[in-house]
Amino acid sequence: MIQLTDVYKTFTVKDKRTRAKKQVEAVKGLSLTVKPGEIYGLLGPNGAGKSTTLRMIAGLMQPNQGRIQVCGLDTVEQPEKARAKVGYLSTDLNVYGRFTPRELLRIFGEFQGLDAKVAERRGMYLMEKLQLDDFADVKMEGFSSGQKQKVSIARALLHDPKVVIFDEPTTGLDVLTAKTVLDLLRVMRAEGRTVIVSTHVMPMVEEICDRVGIIFDGLLYGDASPKQILDDWGVKTLDEVFFELAARSAAEV
Ligand SMILES: Nc1ncnc2c1ncn2[C@@H]1O[C@H](COP(=O)(O)OP(=O)(O)OP(=O)(O)O)[C@@H](O)[C@H]1O
Ligand SMILES: [Mg+2]
């Protein structure tokens, strides 16, 4: 279970040239709930606040205001326990080229205090599901972005997390690789995990998300099934909801 209650996040950024400080309100009063066995899609244009929201749920960043709970654990009051429940995939494709996927997963397993045999078994299971098993013992330095993404996914899920937080898991992947990732997310849902993904990829949303929230300028819209959102807005595609929100925002300025 993921629960966000009236969450705010503001960054202070400094203009290097004028040295003036200004506040960027990345998230402005966000509330949402994702239940076990559900895939929630967080949509929104660049800079909308998706990654900030996911980083806060993953416990990598604290909200300025509001409350975030994962599996009933407050991410600020019980950060370590909460973080242990979470499998987080960032958009950063950093893998350690010197290692093979198997080696990397072994190191991560040790780092997380997992039993070596259990971690090896789970790592192989995930690599098979991701169709990466043929590359388990190949050094990652020459890996394609899709292969790197698969390794990052296996790493995020190695400790068997109850809550799965994936930031743009299919961006930059071809349709076949994307399908492999989506199939794995379906398995995660069927296993009763709580899944939240951010994406720009509309077909993915319609295909796998049970519920969708559109984040625009730090605020959440929708928070319903993709079909319900289309009906509510009287549009045919979710892109049109973006355009509508952008037009409203421009009209306000
Ligand atoms: N560490 C940070 N320091 C300062 N500003 C930040 C930081 N992280 C995010 N922001 C700002 O917060 C806003 C939201 O950023 P965020 O990365 O959450 O957007 P996003 O929806 O993930 O966008 P994208 O689709 O481009 O990944 C942006 O204006 C961004 O510049
Ligand atoms: Mg982002």
Instruction: Tell me, in angstroms, the distance from the centre of ligand 1 to residue 69's CA.
Output: 22
Looking at the predicted structure, is the pLDDT value of residue 217 above 90? Answer: no
Instruction: Tell me, in angstroms, the distance from the centre of ligand 1 to residue 234's CA.
Output: 30
Delimit the domains of the chain by residue range: 35-62+74-85+162-253, 94-160
Looking at the predicted structure, is the pLDDT value of residue 253 above 70? Answer: no
pLDDT tens digit sequence for 218-243: 889 989 999 999 999 999 988 888 88
Write down the pTM of the prediction. Answer: 0.94
pLDDT tens digit sequence for 8-29: 999 999 988 998 999 999 999 9
Pure H helices in 3-159: 50-57, 79-84, 101-111, 116-129, 145-157
Amino acid making up residue 187:
V
Give the three-class secondary structure for 105.
Answer: helix
pLDDT tens digit sequence for 68-100: 999 999 999 999 999 999 999 999 887 888 999
Pure H helices in the chain: 50-57, 79-84, 101-111, 116-129, 145-157, 175-190, 202-208, 226-233, 238-252
228-231's contacts with Cβ under 8 Å and 24+ in sequence apart are none
- Name the pLDDT band for 109 (thresholds 50, 70, 90): very high
CA–CA distance, 101 with 89 (Å, rounded to integer): 16
Q: Which CATH architecture has domain 35-62+74-85+162-253?
A: 3-Layer(aba) Sandwich (3.40)
CA–CA distance, 7 with 139 (Å, rounded to integer): 41
pLDDT tens digit sequence for 122-154: 999 999 999 999 999 999 999 999 999 999 999
Amino acid making up residue 161:
P
Instruction: Tell me, in angstroms, the distance from the centre of ligand 1 to residue 122's CA.
Output: 33
Burial level of 18, CB count in 10 A (0-12/13-18/19+)?
exposed
Protein residue closest via CA to atom 17 of ligand 1 = 51
- Counting from 1 in the atom list of ligand 1, the atom nearest the Cα of 61 is 1
